[in-house]
Amino acid sequence: MRCRDKSQKAVRTCYEWAVYGEAARICIKMVLPFLWEKREQAQLLLDIYRYPAQSRRREKLLRVLSDLKHIDRTEARIKREIR
- Closest C-alpha to 19, from 49, 50, 57: 49
Q: What is this structure's pTM?
A: 0.63
Domain that holds residue 35: 21-82
Tens of pLDDT, residue by residue over 15-72, are 788 898 899 999 999 999 999 888 999 999 999 989 998 999 999 999 898 888 776 6
Structurally, the chain folds into a number of domains equal to 1
Residue 63 lies in a domain: yes
Tell whether 58 is covered by a domain. yes
Residue at 25 is within a domain: yes
Q: How far apart are CA 54 and CA 11, in angstroms?
A: 40
Asked if 39 and 47 touch (Cβ cutoff 8 Å), the reply is: no
Measured distance CA(58)–CA(28) in Å, rounded? 17
* 76 lies in some domain: yes
What is the pLDDT at residue 7? 64
> Rounded distance, CA 33 to CA 42, Å?
10
60 lies in some domain? yes
Is residue 72 one of the residues assigned to a domain? yes
3 within a domain of the structure (yes/no): no
Give the C-alpha separation, 21 to 11, whole Å. 32
Residue 47 near residue 59 (C-beta atoms within 8 A): no
Question: Do the domain assignments include residue 37?
Answer: yes
